[in-house]
Amino acid sequence: MTLEELNILFQLKKQLEKNAEMLESLRAAAGPSSPILTGMPHAPGVKDKVADLAIEIADLEERIRYLREEIHNQERTIGAWIETIESDQTRLIFRLRFIRAFTWAQVAATIGGRNTEDGVKSVCYRYLESCNAPTRPDA
């Protein structure tokens, strides 16, 4: 497993979070609002903002469904790989960062002790290097 492969899940989760926020904004914008009561007659071409936003809402809902499905698939694949890590602390670092999408600072704070952001990052990168180190033919 490479860092790029692990980061796919992290990026998918961040994208899902952004899309969920956009969907909430679209739904709020499409919600009922107070009409402007001026006493003047309305001009032709009255717009229905709910209908105008319905396509965008449906499209975004479909995108969110797709992202959730992708996240589920990636979590299964990456989770199975993480379970093969022997060190409990290293396994926890990988789970927090790549399955739970914690920032490095959050990972360090959760692990506790004297662990720093750079320290947990180093544990991760060293482990990946040891797994992905090319084998020498003469070894």
CA distance 6 to 121: 13
CA distance 120 to 133: 20
CA distance 81 to 1: 8
Q: Does pTM surpass 0.85?
A: no
Which pLDDT tens digit goes with each residue over 3-59? 898 989 989 999 999 999 999 998 888 776 555 556 656 555 555 666 778 888 899
CA 115, 119, 123, 129: dihedral to nearest 10 degrees?
Answer: 180
- Of the candidates 97, 98, 117, 101, the one whose C-alpha atom is nearest the C-alpha of residue 109 is 117
Which pLDDT tens digit goes with each residue over 70-109? 999 999 999 999 999 999 999 999 999 999 989 999 999 9
| Mean pLDDT, range 55-66, rounded to an integer | 92
- Of the candidates 105, 79, 109, 72, the one whose C-alpha atom is nearest the C-alpha of residue 94 is 79
